[in-house]
A and B are shown apart, each in its own frame.
Chain A
Amino acid sequence: MNTGDPTGGIQVLSDRSDQVWTKGSGKAFVCDKKSAAGSVTQRACAFCGSRVVLYPIADALHIVHGPIGCAVYNWDIRGALSSGPQLHRNSFSTDLAEKEVVFGGEKKLKASLIELIDYYKPKAAFVYSTCIVGVIGDDVEAICKVVTKETGIDVIPVDSPGFKGTKRSGYQAACEAAYRLVGTGSTENLGKYTINLMGEFNIAGEAWMIRRYFEQIGIEVVATITGDGRVDDLRRCHGAKLNLVQCSGSMTHLAKLLKDEHGIPMQRVSFFGFEDTARAIYAAAEFFGDPEIMRKAQELVRSEIAKFAPQIRDYKKKLKGKKAALYVGGAFKAFSLVLALRALGMKTVLAGTQTGSAEDYEQLKEICDEGTVIVDDSNPLELAKFVIEKDVDLFIGGVKERPVAYKLGVAFCDHNHERKIPLAGFEGMLSFAEEVAASVLSPVWKFVPRREALAVAAFEEARKGEGK
């Protein structure tokens, strides 16, 4: 089908037209709704949402109750590191067979839990229900109770069958499950200045970097939730004085519970890019109102930026004027990325997310330039269409977006849970710049058909000019 149109005439589905918005168009914008059937959404399911959130708790047993696929497709695919136990990197499943689908899987679940707990001695266990379990009616809650009693550890159901709402509903289910542990540990030894880092998943060790910043300025991090997570930290995280919530999509619900039930205030922050990282550190320092902490915070920010700024400036020179598209999990992250790209001299022309909330998008719309396209719950065709129409130089997304970019000869940077490079904090900004530059400035793009066609056109143009 050669239409002469490089997008191949892709149209946005009418079911989704209100989820695509252009700044300056004045149109209404809708988000946080179920994916349209047949739209080939980039989203997974509610189960996936819960798995993403709880997975990094490294000393817990995570078992997926259902047929095998749901468990095996997310076996150790994420870059969430642990400084100790590695139990979370296994994939445990009840792997239901036909017999259990017909007669129920409770027995198998119970036997699985007892054996696994006995063998690996986890601090707690999470049981994720998948779609099948949602329909065959296993009483997972009851099994968890029984096993809790028999083993003496908390066995917690995560009510997340895939069809139950969107990925966001999965986040909610995960927060509910995690909250069952909160408040069950002693907070006695906690100091004066304490925080929890929420929505930090320790991708490529990011939580370790951020934790270090706070320790340097005299603030104690009680729990990183859930990156490099520990059951005992969750038990006592209600002892912290402040919650810094990074990935708000995943953690807002838990933060709210902590606020409502334990009176801990929350602040949305981001550790992505110099600006946002500095702002997050200052926010905590300000909260405690201790001038010494603020002084240390300023010193930290100053010295860190001094360390990396010159190199960033060099990259900026090379990247200036390039156009970027981004499609990530949550909108708050998209917001930070727009700023970070700006710091590199780049312009965001397409921004989208799988699970942004209305609140997130408001902020995103504000900061974007005129003409920027914003998409909610997009799909490969739409993304490709806009990549071509906007003629972007860089795409930021995850594994599922990568081929869309590469096929069209566009640079790519992975900013999802599967990446292996830390992009948070001050040094993260440097690796971000390096990563972006490594792709955007690669010499390979001149060979890709789109660029070749442009080069030929430019050549023809020049020749015509000479002929005159």
Chain B
Amino acid sequence: MISGMEHKNPDLFTVSGVRVQGAPPEAATRNACKLCSPLGAAMVFNGIRGCLPFLHGSQGCATYIRRYMISHFREPVDIASSSFTEDDAIFGGARNFENGVENVIAQYSPECVGVATTCLSETIGENMIGMIKDFQKNHADKGPPLIHVSTPAYTGTHSDGYYAAIREVVAAFAEPCKERDVTRVNILPAMMSCEDLRHLRELCTIYGLEATVLPDYSTRLEGSSWGEYNRIPPGGTSIDEIKSMGDAAATIEFGHLVANRIDSAGMLLEKRSGSRRHALGWPIGIKLSDQLFTSLAIVSGKRMPESIAFDRGRVVDAYVDAHKYVSGKKAVVYGEPDLVIGLASFLSEIGIRPVVCATGSKGKGWKDLIASEIEGGMEDVLALSGADHAKIAEAAREVKPDLLLGSSKGYPLARELNVPLVRIGFPIHDRFGGQRQLSVGYRGTLALFDRLVNAVMESKQEDSKTGYSYL
């Protein structure tokens, strides 16, 4: 037994238990801070009513993604696959596709099938659109609609797959405006928790708006106990609802990255139906939440309701009450790009420096995006894109942060540095209830702030010799 080593971050030691030395490896990815794009697409398909995700390729990808989602949501996640054999990989999987979708229809009676490609089917150049057309022709156009999104994982991460799927769903179904309905609004969320999705809808209701949330996996991936087996769990946005998204007064689309894209789902809706897009950041913290409430006010034509103004006031009050516990602390933040930007903004408004802002996604202008949301300049902030957890760890060892914010995947580092990890994002599989953590809007900000402050207090307590019982 190499003593003590088992408590340390496994990326830090040679096999004989000596601390690694020299320049860190650059070519390989070590402990990725990203997942692959079909996962993002599968999330979206889980947010459409009666939709069964189907990955065209070998079955391992589907099973792995199911397993991963199940461990976070603790709900059934069925994802079908065309189960390629060696022959299919060489000659194409058209036959498997047809047979697979038939089997899915037989077993699940889906209202629609969400087809995403995997790296394999992308590489061998499967003509998905043709195959889908053929399928529909062969079935006399009687089967459920098939939506297709192209998700080669080697060109992007799970968040790219997520946004791409939303866009394809909108492209496939949303119709031009028939009759403008000023009481309706479209919400295109980032990869948020179920509770976040529910809260966004609730906020719209408070402003007198009925929201179409796309995707809405909030009941499907966090449902009640069942008396009978639901082949496809209830919940999700119906195709009919998606069809009429063009009627809504406006679309609120979240995510800094999406905001910069001219071909985002929100832009597509705007072009097709004239329903105006509001591009917002992931609404964490007062500043980014203010933007959300401003948009809601504009769309609804209503001023901020009392109850929400009061929520905002409570956040400010909490910020004040706890400012000393967190002021001047340094944090390392990692995860989906949009989440990291939101967190950076939130942290900087409570006086924590987000000294490392890392994402596994690669993207131009990452540093500028971070810079746009934090106060006090970037001299002490390291913005890492295309980062893996080994790189994040290296940066963190340098800056000696007081806490980490991100998914469960930061745990080895938190343990090594003996600092708290405030879990947020995906996946959270070493804590309970990640899917119902609220972090958006004023109320979400307050909940997150409480979690964060308590994490800091708890670690202070644990580290103290005195064992303060009154902090």
- Interface residue stretch chosen among B12-20, B281-289, B397-405: B12-20
Residue B1 at the A interface, CB < 8 A? yes
Residue of B nearest to A60 (CB): B15
Scan A405-416; emit 1 where CB is below 8 A from any B CB, else 0.
011110000000
Q: Is B230's beta carbon under 8 Å from chain A?
A: yes
Measured between beta carbons, the chain B residues less than 8 angstroms from A40 are 62, 78-81, 104, 107
What is the CA–CA distance of A157 and B125 in the complex, to the nearest angstrom? 27
Q: In the bound complex, what is the Cα–Cα distance between A407 and B84 (angstroms)?
A: 30
Minimal Cβ-Cβ distance residue in A for B233? A407
- Check A321 for interface membership: any CB of B closer than 8 A: no
Task: Map CB proximity to B onto A11-38 as digits: 1 under 8 Å, 0 otherwise.
Answer: 1011100000000000000000011111
A75-B83 CB under 8 A given contacts A39-B103, A70-B60, A163-B89: no
Determine the distance from Cα of A305 to Cα of B224 in the docked complex, in whole angstroms.
Answer: 43
Instruction: Give A53-89 interface residues, CB cut-off 8 Å to B.
Output: 58-59, 63, 66-76, 82-89
CB pair A38–B86 under 8 Å, yes or no, is no
Distance of A325 Cα from B209 Cα, bound (Å): 48
Closest to B106 in A: A13
Q: Which of A368-402 contact B (CB under 8 A)?
A: 379-381, 384-385, 388, 399-400, 402
Cβ-based interface call for A450 (8 A):
yes
Asked if residues B225 and A75 are in contact (CB atoms below 8 Å), the reply is no
Contact with A along B98-111 (1 / 0, CB 8 A): 01111110111100
A67/B85 in contact, CB under 8 A:
no
Cα separation A278 to B189 with both chains bound (whole Å)? 57
Knowing A39-B80, A453-B227 are in contact, say whether A400-B120 is a contact too (CB < 8 A): no
A449 contacts partner chain B, Cβ-Cβ < 8 Å: yes
Is A459 on the interface with B (CB-CB < 8 A)? no
In angstroms, Cα B409 to Cα A48, docked, is: 21
Neighbour of A115 across the interface among B25, B71, B120, B230, CB < 8 A: B25
* Cβ of B216 to closest chain A Cβ, rounded Å: 19
What CA separation (Å) do A384 and B99 show in the bound complex?
Answer: 23
Q: With A and B bound together, what is the CA distance between A90 and B64 in angstroms? A: 17
Whether a CB of chain B sits under 8 angstroms from the CB of A283 is no
B75 to chain A: closest residue by CB: A403
A38/B5 in contact, CB under 8 A: no
What residues of A have a CB within 8 angstroms of the CB of B11 in the complex?
Answer: 90
Is A41 positioned at the interface, with any CB of B under 8 Å from its CB?
A: yes
Is B32 in the interface zone, CB < 8 Å from A? yes
Q: What B residues does A407 contact at CB under 8 A?
A: 75-76, 223, 225-226, 229
Q: Of all chain A residues, which has the CB nearest B5?
A: A86
Given that A38-B81, A135-B123 are contacting pairs, would A119 and B32 also be in contact in the complex, using a CB cutoff of 8 Å? no
- Taken together as a complex, chains A and B put the C-alpha atoms of A301 and B25 apart, in Å, by 50
Flag if B230 contacts A8 (CB, 8 Å): yes
Task: State whether the Cβ of B27 lies closer than 8 Å to any Cβ in chain A.
Answer: yes
List, in ascending order, chain B residues with CB within 8 A of A162's CB. 58-61, 84, 120
Dominant secondary structure of chain A at its interface with chain B: loop
The CA-CA distance from A43 to B227 in the complex, in Å, is 27
Known interface pairs A8-B228, A40-B79. Does A69 touch B35 (Cβ–Cβ under 8 Å)? yes
Judging by beta carbons under 8 Å apart, are A38 and B82 in contact?
Answer: yes
Q: Within the complex, what minimum Cβ distance (angstroms) separates B165 from chain A?
A: 16
Most buried by A among B11, B15, B67, B84: B15
Q: Which residues of B contact A449 (CB under 8 A)?
A: 225-227
Chain A residues with Cβ below 8 Å from B59 are 35, 41, 43-45, 162
In the complex, A47 has a CB within 8 A of chain B = yes
Contact status A98-B89, CB under 8 Å:
no
- Which of A86, A91, A403 interacts with B74 by CB under 8 Å? A403
Pairwise interchain contact A38-B103, C-beta atoms closer than 8 A: yes
Cβ contact within 8 Å between B29 and A71? yes
CA distance A59 to B17 in the complex (A): 10
| Contacts known (A45-B59, A163-B85, A400-B66); A8 close to B154, Cβ less than 8 A | no
Which one, A63, A98, A380, A448, contacts B28 given CB within 8 A? A63
A437-452 Cβ-contact flags toward B at 8 Å (1 or 0): 0000000000111100
Nearest chain A CB to B156 CB, angstrom units: 9
Is B31 a contact of A91 with CB atoms below 8 Å? yes
- Chain A residue numbers with a CB within 8 Å of B152 are 67, 98, 101
Q: Does chain B have a CB within 8 A of A93?
A: yes
- Which single residue of chain B is at the shortest CB-CB distance from A91? B31
A280 vs B228: C-alpha distance in the bound complex, in angstroms?
43
A108 at the interface (CB under 8 A from B): yes
User: A163–B82 Cα gap in the complex (Å)?
Assistant: 11
Would B10 and A448 count as touching, CB distance under 8 A?
no
Interface flag for B39 (CB, 8 Å): yes
Q: Within 8 Å CB of A265, what residues of B?
A: none
Task: Return A62 CB to nearest CB of chain B, in Å.
Answer: 11
Taking a contact as CB atoms under 8 Å apart, the answer to whether B58 and A131 are in contact is yes
When distances are taken between beta carbons in the complex, the residues of chain A under 8 Å from B153 are: 67-69
Contact with B along A96-112 (1 / 0, CB 8 A): 11101100000010011
Q: Does any Cβ of A come within 8 Å of B63's Cβ? A: yes
What number of B residues sit within 8 Å (CB to CB) of A?
92
CB contacts (< 8 Å) of B271 on chain A: these are: none
Assign chain A's interface to a size class.
Answer: 35 or more
In angstroms, Cα B104 to Cα A36, docked, is 10
Note all chain B residues with C-beta closer than 8 A to A59.
15
Chain B nearest Cβ from A384, distance in angstroms: 4
User: Which residues of chain B are within 8 angstroms of A118 by Cβ–Cβ distance?
Assistant: 22, 25
Partner of A68, one of B18, B34, B225, B227: B34
Residue of B nearest to A398 (CB): B67
Contact (A94, B119) CB under 8 Å given A73-B64, A120-B20: no
Task: State A46–B22 Cα separation when bound (angstroms).
Answer: 36
Given contacts A85-B16, A399-B71, A403-B74, contact A93 B32 (CB under 8 A): yes
Contact A97 B154 (CB under 8 A): yes
Partner among A1, A43, A71, A75 whose Cβ is within 8 Å of the Cβ of B63: A43
Contacts of B157 in A (CB 8 A): 68
Q: Is the CB of A450 within 8 A of B227?
A: yes
Once the chains bind, are A91 and B15 in contact (CB under 8 Å)? no
In this complex, what residue of A is CB-closest to B362?
A97
Which residue in chain B gives the minimum CB-CB distance to A68?
B32
Interface residue ranges of A165-187 to B (CB < 8 Å): 165
Inside 8 A of A404's CB, which chain B residues have their CB? 76
**A380 adjacent to B78 (CB under 8 Å):** yes
Instruction: Identify which of A13, A98, A115 contacts B154 (C-beta below 8 A).
Output: A98
Are A38 and B84 interface neighbours, CB within 8 A?
A: no
**Whose C-beta in chain A lies nearest to the C-beta of B62?**
A40
The answer to whether A112 touches B25, judged by C-beta atoms less than 8 angstroms apart, is: yes
A163 touches B86 (CB 8 A): yes
Write the chain B residue with the least CB distance to A116: B25
- Give the distance in Å from the alpha carbon of A201 to the alpha carbon of B239 in the complex: 47
A146 within 8 A of B: no
Q: Which residues of A sit under 8 angstroms from B99, Cβ to Cβ?
A: 15, 36-38
Complex CA–CA separation, A161 to B17 (angstroms): 32
Q: A92-B28, A134-B89 are in contact. Are A37 and B60 (CB under 8 A)?
A: no
Known: A38-B99, A40-B78. A75 touches B64 (CB 8 A): no
Residue ID in chain A nearest B64 by CB atoms: A73
Q: B372 in the interface, Cβ–Cβ < 8 Å?
A: no
Highest count of chain A CB atoms <10 Å: which of B22, B36, B63, B70: B63
Q: Is B20 within 8 A of A41, CB to CB?
A: no
**Which of A67, A136, A384 lies at the interface centre, i.e. has the most chain B CB atoms within 10 A of its CB?**
A67
Given A135-B120, A407-B75, 13 new contacts (CB under 8 A): A36-B100, A41-B83, A45-B63, A67-B36, A69-B119, A84-B1, A118-B22, A120-B15, A131-B60, A163-B88, A381-B107, A407-B225, A449-B226
Can you list 23 A-B contacts with CB-CB less than 8 angstroms, sorted by A residue number? A11-B107, A36-B100, A38-B82, A38-B104, A42-B63, A44-B67, A45-B63, A67-B119, A69-B61, A90-B31, A94-B28, A95-B28, A98-B154, A115-B27, A119-B24, A135-B120, A162-B58, A162-B61, A162-B84, A384-B229, A403-B70, A403-B74, A407-B75
Q: Which 5 interchain pairs have the tightest Cβ spacing? A: A45-B60, A69-B36, A37-B100, A38-B100, A449-B227
